[in-house]
Amino acid sequence: MKRIIAPSFLASNFLQLASEVAMVNESAAEWLHLDIMDGRFVPNISFGLPVVEHIASATKKFCDVHLMIVEPEKYITDFKKAGADQLCVHIEACPHLHRVLEQIHDQDMKAGIAVNPHTPIDFLKDIIQHADVVNLMSVNPGFGGQAFIEHTYTKIKELRKMIDDKGLDTLIQIDGGVTQQNARTLFDTGANVLVAGSSVFKAADPKRAIADLLDA
């Protein structure tokens, strides 16, 4: 089963973004994960379009942009222009989720659905076939460095069964609290993509940390 590590730049050193991007460029990571927070959907503000544009211009890696914002449909074209390869929107923020996923696909980007820890997997049963990836939040969204929510393993199993039963190739992404200690279990349970922030950027050897997560 496909394995991908997506270093989360929320945990990077913003004063050294060029070198942080260069490090990931030289690593085994296939994706970059960029968290956009608006202070409304989540109680935090991160960074916006200019930062995405600069990072995307400095890499050939797949730019996975996670929109933790209300009304994400207003910014789809802007993020495409900034260099996003994939936009992931929250099911809780999109009353017309099918329409939003279609708008993302119309811009030739991959489309993802993010799911908060309290949201049942069953809510995805009528929409998952329109998503390229499902981002299971394994912490409450808004802040990096939080502890992993153990119930996520149950949700991975439920989601993997739904994907397999429908014959889909939708990827399962895990976002939050990913460490060297739980990476193997996450992959073995059915995850494809691990978003890793602190466990990469706070490591003594970030490139080694990425390789270790991938080979867990």
Q: For 153-184, what is each residue's pLDDT tens digit?
A: 999 999 999 999 999 999 999 999 999 999 99
Instruction: Tell me the pLDDT tens digit for each residue of 68-84.
Output: 999 999 999 999 999 99
Is position 64 annotated as part of the catalytic site?
Answer: no
Average pLDDT of the chain is 96
Q: Is 124 helix (H, G, I), strand (E, B) or coil?
A: helix
Q: Please report, in range form, the residues annotated as the binding site for substrate.
A: 8, 66, 142-145, 175-177, 197-198
For the segment 31-58, the average pLDDT, to the nearest whole number, is 96
Which of 31-40, 120-129, 142-151, 160-169 is least confident? 142-151
The 3-state secondary structure of 55-103 reads HHHCCCCEEEEEEECCCHHHHHHHHHHHCCCEEEEEHHHCCCHHHHHHH
Which residue in the list 38, 64, 132, 175 is annotated as catalytic?
175
Q: How confident is the model at residue 10 (pLDDT cuts 50, 70, 90)?
A: very high
Contact 57, 81 (CB under 8 A): no
Q: Which two tokens stand for residue 190?
A: 């059915």
Contact 184, 216 (CB under 8 A): yes
What percentage of the chain has pLDDT greater than the value 90? 95
Which residue in the list 35, 38, 64, 132 is annotated as catalytic?
35
Distance CA(37)–CA(46), nearest Å, equals 5
For the segment 55-64, the average pLDDT, to the nearest whole number, is 98
What ranges do the domains of the chain cover? 4-214
Is position 38 annotated as part of the catalytic site?
Answer: no
For the segment 143-162, the average pLDDT, to the nearest whole number, is 90
pLDDT at position 142, please? 66
Contact 202, 13 (CB under 8 A): no
What percentage of the chain has pLDDT greater than the value 70? 98
Architecture of domain 4-214: Alpha-Beta Barrel (3.20)
